[in-house]
Amino acid sequence: MQTGLLPPRLRLAGENSSREFDQKEGTPILLPHPNFPIRPPEVMDPEIRQRRTPAAPSSPNRADDPSAKSQQPSPPPRRPTTTTTSRLLDTLRILTALLLLNSLLSYYITSDPLFWNQPRPWFLRRGPLSTYLQGPLRLTDAELSLYNGTDPDKPVLLALNGTIYDVTAGRRVYGPGGSYHVFAGRDAARGFVTGCFAEDGTPDLRGVEWTYVPAGIPRYGEEGEEEGEGEAEGKEGDGDEGRGGEKKQNKKKKVSPELKSQREQALRQARKQVQATIEGWGKMFRGETGKGYFEVGKVVREEGWLEKLPRREICAQAERGRPKGKGNGKDAGAAYRGGK
């Protein structure tokens, strides 16, 4: 009996058996086969001695693998929450209610269901939109005269200071028999300032500013205004003037420096008023005051055309309408442009 040693091992039946059993526990113990002796450690292959555990595939390789991508379940699409949808619907309801309220109030107050009787934007009007798409017209004065309203198949055009406008919407006024028919088919900018329809049907605006210069201010080249008849001069030796029954001779007083300064100031103010009058008519013909007119192009003229025209004096009507004192001249077309 062996003491102090490991429990005896039992060899299985057969000499060539390489397994033994532990007597105590009965577990098999593998032993080397006699035909395959154990090699010493220095002879054994180091690669065999050091077992390598297979590396687990990394996540990037799985990501690059198309089969892995196909196997991975795609996340479900995110759907808008109920809160977001309800907020969007509430915003649409509020905007719709505001537009409806604006339309009702506009129609009730101004009889215009959308724009409160204000001119519509040009891109919402058929005429300006078609002009924008087709391009502006370029007509000579002779070509412009063909659009005076006598041909019902052509639009009614007029020009103001070189800009052509379509006034077909006012054919009753600018067509044959209308009160402003004299302006159709031509550029009569001077007549729009002076109010002389027949005499001033020309685009020449030279000297037209005198329409708004006070009558007491003389023009250039004039010595001055004549004085009225004075009191009778007294006789020699008579101490009191005005006695003797002799009348003063009519004289012309010369233009003083103060009067020249007043004339310059009056002319500057009158030129501004001429520009304001032209701009007022242009604003109406562009449709900015609610009328259905719009701009369509420009008048083509040769260079130096203005110098070839004779200079004009203001017409008799404009001369009589010159302001008295220091007041501004009256714009005869202001009431019509305002729609009155």
Residuewise pLDDT in 10s, the chain (340 residues): 444 444 554 444 444 444 554 555 555 555 555 665 555 555 555 555 555 555 555 555 555 555 555 566 666 666 655 678 888 888 888 988 888 887 777 666 665 666 555 556 655 666 666 666 777 889 999 999 999 999 999 999 999 999 999 999 899 999 999 989 999 999 999 999 999 988 899 999 999 999 999 988 888 766 544 433 333 333 434 444 443 444 444 445 577 888 888 889 999 999 999 999 999 999 999 988 878 899 999 999 999 999 999 999 999 999 998 998 766 666 766 666 664 4
**For residue 34, what pLDDT is reported?**
61
**CB neighbours of residue 54 within 10 Å:** 5
Handedness of CA 116, 122, 126, 127 (dihedral sign): positive
> Would you say 155 and 184 are in contact if contact means Cβ atoms under 8 Å apart?
no
Q: Are the CB atoms for 140 and 300 separated by under 8 Å?
A: yes
CB burial readout 60-87, b (16+ within 10 A) else e: eeeeeeeeeeeeeeeeeeeeeeeeeeee
User: What pLDDT does residue 220 have?
Assistant: 79
Which pLDDT value is given to residue 185? 95
Contact yes or no for 211/312 (Cβ under 8 A): no
Give 298's strand partners.
138, 163
Of 337, 293, 336, residue with least CA distance to 122? 293
Q: How far is CA 166 from CA 45, 158, 301, in A?
A: 105, 7, 19
**Residue extents of the structural domains in the chain:** 8-39, 86-118, 122-222+254-337
Give the per-residue pLDDT at 250.
Answer: 44
Whole-number pLDDT of residue 236: 39
Cα–Cα distance, 330 to 118 (Å, whole number): 27
Sheet with 294-299, edge to edge strand ranges: 137-139, 294-299, 163-166, 157-160
Alpha helix (H) residue ranges in the chain: 46-49, 59-64, 66-71, 82-110, 126-134, 141-144, 171-174, 189-194, 257-285, 316-320, 334-337
Residue 90: what pLDDT? 86
- The CATH fold assigned to 122-222+254-337 is Flavocytochrome B2; Chain A, domain 1 (3.10.120)
